[in-house]
Amino acid sequence: MARTELSILNETMRINDKKEFGQGVVTYITGVKRHVGPFYALYALSESVIDTAGCWQGDNLPWGSDAALPSTITIPAGTMLYGNYNDIELDSGVMIGYSLGSVTIE
């Protein structure tokens, strides 16, 4: 069977889901404090601006860290992001973070 964009998305969601929602830790993220997970999903309750200025982007990227990400990323309300997010800091908005363990706020 050929791999389609939908099958890849479904597989990614299954892998990142790890546990059904509700069995892990759900964190209400607001304000400008850094929330340290790791998170496997983030949901924007309102339009949210993520501060990426302090993000670690890897040691072996083919571009300079200044060019890798803009200093902020705007996420529309109702957007669910799946992935492995070590931490998140908002400039504005409200998000829900899903993690399997405890979350600290710095």
Residue 68's CB is within 10 A of a number of other CB atoms, namely 13
pLDDT at 98 over 70: yes
Under the banding of pLDDT at 50, 70 and 90, the label for residue 106 is confident
Answer yes or no: pTM beyond 0.85: no
- 3-class SS of residue 6: helix
**Average pLDDT of the segment spanning 42-61:** 79
Bond into 38 cis (ω within 30): yes
- For residue 51, give the nearest of 71, 36, 27, 31 by alpha carbon: 71
- What is the CATH topology of the domain spanning 5-105? Jelly Rolls (2.60.120)
3-state secondary structure of 50: strand
The secondary structure of residue 7, as a DSSP letter, is H
Domain limits, the chain = 5-105
Mean pLDDT of 32-60: 83
- pLDDT above 60 for 33: yes
